[in-house]
Every structure is written in structure tokens, then in C-alpha cells.
Amino acid sequence: MADSNFIDYVKILCRSGKGGAGSRHFHRAKYVPKGGPDGGDGGRGGHIILRGNRNLWTLLHLRYQRHVFATNGESGGAGRSFGRDGEDRIIEVPIGTTVFDADTGEFLCEVTEDGQEVKLLRGGKGGLGNWHFATSTNRAPRYAQPGQPAIEKAVVLELKLLGDVGLVGFPNAGKSTLLSTISAAKPKIADYPFTTMEPSLGIVPYRGDKSFVMADIPGIIEGASEGAGLGHDFLRHIDRCRLLVHVVDVSGSEGRDPVADFDAINAELEQYSPDLAKRPQIVAANKVDIMTDPENLERLRAHVEAKGFTLMEISAAAHQGTRELVGKVAETLTSLPPVTVYEPEYVPKPPVVDTSEPLDIQRLDDGHTWLIQGPWLQRLMANVNFDDYESRMWFDKALRESGLYQQLEERGIEDGDTVSLDGYEFEYQY
């Protein structure tokens, strides 16, 4: 696998851009000795965006690109001029790419369509300039809001091929030959096990302009679900298949028992994913043209039908029974749900913020305005949506548990005083 160009698993470090700081500027002009605040807002930091690209089918282009950083937003300027937004970084990925948090394993997002864009990491919001904080009692605010910090996260990108049908079976059972026979795909074919070293996709036409996608997975052996052979690396590519075509060699040319092979593959599927083992199957008894013992076929038929599966006799090499197999597969697909995709909406969980660090608490000269700053407070507020009630309640609870309210009361804060938290102003109420 070291020399293969088929890369379906990469780990990269991503970081969005930091928001630009708001400006603390006052208007200065001739004949205007006391101009008001006119500091502009900072620009937002750049996003990290995933974009689906149907022309890609591996993650090879990301193998050596282990760091993806967006640029920071620029600070605001005088005259209420806005800072420039940071540049977004777009990561092109093949369709079928899922993304997980590298530290927790949490599912983050998935790209399933060409051109689909998903914001993996949002850039920090730019800080507000000081003109936003001018009030009837404070006409010259000397503080502005800093930009929100960048978000850094190590993520795992995992490609799972989007195929309607997955070909499973032991090495050298004839899966690649079958795919090359019924589609335009040209997988490597040879008379020895493990000829197929990477998954292949083929579009199988039927009934004029209709078609379905079939995935040829490298041969599975006993212990594949635990890492033996190649199965551990490629079993994920049949996770989403609606239907499995189980190719079994019934020729007896290699001295194998087709019934035992059938049970062994299904045992590996069960071990890897119980849900995968429950997928509908069509059993293709292959190489019937060179079969030496018809009893093998009959034993397999009785065994398969007893489990509720359909068995079809084929010879992929001789093009025997393949048309009937395609018809049966197409007929079965019409009654099955669409290709399985991950649908949970990614909702970022409020992070655990260490509030043990001391805060800088200042009481301004007017006696009723409190300026509070600190690194953990900035990190906490970066994850608050003040337009959302539940988010505000979570924020209030975090401040209360940190002991901030108790500290303010000990210093003599009064009901109705103004509290400035990292540039946001609140009215204190008991």
C-alpha cells in the first residue's frame, strides 16, 4: 500500500483566521476639536471550507499538505473604515469524504455532492470599533472589541466511495472480471490472489440510459475486520452500498469450499459492522463454466436460499449469466432506499473553558462602568451566540460558576452599573 496512489485516509491540522480588532480612533479634523469616536470594525478571519469535486477520487493531494491555515482579518481603521476580511482556504475533496475530530472521534461533516461547500471551521468574528459603544453618558469610549480568536482543530478526512452495489468475496473469486464485463471499468485482472490492490468504481448501464454504480473491493480474508489482509483498509468503502453482490467461486479449481467461503465472508462483515451484514445480498456463483463438481453449486444454493438470499449462476469470464445478474441487481435496487449518507447536523458543543485564571477587573473613573478582560473570557465569548437564548444562559452560568459575580459584588458593584466584557456592554442586575 505504500506505493499506491489510492489514499482514502489523511489527518490534517486546520486553523481558521483570527478576527481583526476594532479601532479605538476619534475623529480629528480642522475646526472639530472634540470629534466623536469613529473607529471601524475589524474584518472577520478566513474560513476553512470543504468543497466536493467529482474529478477527485482519492485524498492523495492532501497526503503531504498537513497544515491548512486561513489568514487573519485586518484591524478596523479611522472614519469607521472596516478591516479587510481574511482569505478563506478551500480544500477540494472527492465526493464521499467524511470528516471527524482527530482528538475525540466526533463526526463533524460530510461532502456528498459535486460543488457542495461545507464550512469546517469558521473564522473569528471581527471586533467592533469604539463608535459602537458611545452612549449618552459615555460619549468618548476608549475601548473597542478585540477580534474573536481563531479555531484550530486536527481533523481526519476519510473517503468512503459512494456506490450503489458493493462486490465482496474472497481474493481471486472473479469480482474484477465481473466488473470489467458489465461496465467500462478496467481493473487489473490476473490469475492470482490480491490482484486488486485498491477499490474500483464502474458504471453499469441497463435499460437504455439507466445505470448504477458498482464498487469492486479488494478481496476479504478471514480476520479482515481485525486488520488481516487488505480488508481492514477497504471495508469502509462498502459501508454505504445499498446492495451487496457476493461473488463465490464454485469451480473447485482451487480446492475451496464455496459454502465455507460464503459463511466466512459474512462473518467478517458481521464482525466489522452488524448493520453492513444485514444489507441485501445477491449471491453470484461464479466460474460455473469450469465447475468440476456440481454438488458444490447445489450445496451452496440450498445454504444461500435457506438464509433468504437469491443465488444466480454466472461465468464472468465467459459472459454467462451476467446480463441476468445485472437485471436482477437493477430490479432489487428499485426497491431499496438511496445510498446511505451521514445526515446528522454538526452543532458545535460549548467547549470546556478553564476559568481558574484571574481576570483584569477595572472600575472606570465614572464609578459605574466596569472593564473586565482576560484570556479565558475571550475564549468563552468566542463561543457564544448572543442572539440565542440558550447560548446566553450557558454564558451566564459559566460566568456565575467562575466566581466573577462574587468578585464584582465584593468590589462594590451596584445594580444598574455597566459591565464591559471583552468589548460587549451589559447592565448588571442582582
pLDDT of residue 42: 92
> Nearest-CA neighbor of 332 among 196, 205, 212?
212
Tell the CATH superfamily of the 165-333 domain: P-loop containing nucleotide triphosphate hydrolases (3.40.50.300)
Mean pLDDT, all residues of the chain = 80
Neighbours of 34 (CB within 10 A): 9
* CATH number of the structural domain 350-430: 3.30.300.350
Domain locations in the chain as residue ranges: 1-160, 165-333, 350-430
Pairing of strands 418-421, 369-373: parallel
pLDDT of residue 88: 95
Q: Per residue, what are the HEC states of 128-192?
A: CCHHHHCCCCCCCCCCCCCCCCCCEEEEEEEECCCCCEEEECCCCCCHHHHHHHHCCCCCCCCCC
Distance CA 14, CA 381 (A): 21
Average pLDDT over residues 141-165: 83
pLDDT at residue number 273: 78
HEC readout, the chain: CCCCCCCCEEEEEEECCCCCCCCCCECCECCECCCCECCCCCCCCCCEEEEECCCCCCCHHHCCCCEEECCCCCCCCCCCCCCCCCCCEEEEECCCEEEEECCCCCEEEEECCCCCEEEEECCCCCCCCHHHHCCCCCCCCCCCCCCCCCCEEEEEEEECCCCCEEEECCCCCCHHHHHHHHCCCCCCCCCCCCCCCCCEEEEEEECCCEEEEEEECCCCCCCHHHCCCCHHHHHHHHCCCCEEEEEEECCCCCCCCHHHHHHHHHHHHHHHCHHHHCCCEEEEEECHHHCCCHHHHHHHHHHHHHCCCEEEECECCCCECHHHHHHHHHHHHCCCCCCCCCCCCCCCCCCCCCCCCCCEEEECCCCCEEEEECHHHHHHHCCCCCCCHHHHHHHHHHHHHHCHHHHHHHCCCCCCCEEEECCEEEECCC
Cell of 319: 459472459
Same fold, 1-160 and 350-430: no
Looking at 189-193, 349-353, 366-370, 398-402, which range is the least confident one? 189-193
Best CATH choice for the domain 1-160 from the list 3.30.70.20, 2.70.210.12, 3.40.640.10, 2.120.10.30: 2.70.210.12
Write down the pLDDT at residue 197.
46
The pLDDT tens digits for 244-283 are 999 999 988 777 889 998 998 888 888 877 887 888 999 9
Predicted TM-score (pTM) of the model is 0.55
Cell reading at 418: 455597566
Q: Which set of grid coordinates corresponds to residue 126?
A: 471581527
Instruction: Kindly report, residue by residue over 292-333, the tens digit of the pLDDT.
Output: 888 989 999 999 999 999 999 999 889 999 999 999 999 998
Question: pLDDT category, 225, cuts 50, 70, 90?
Answer: very low
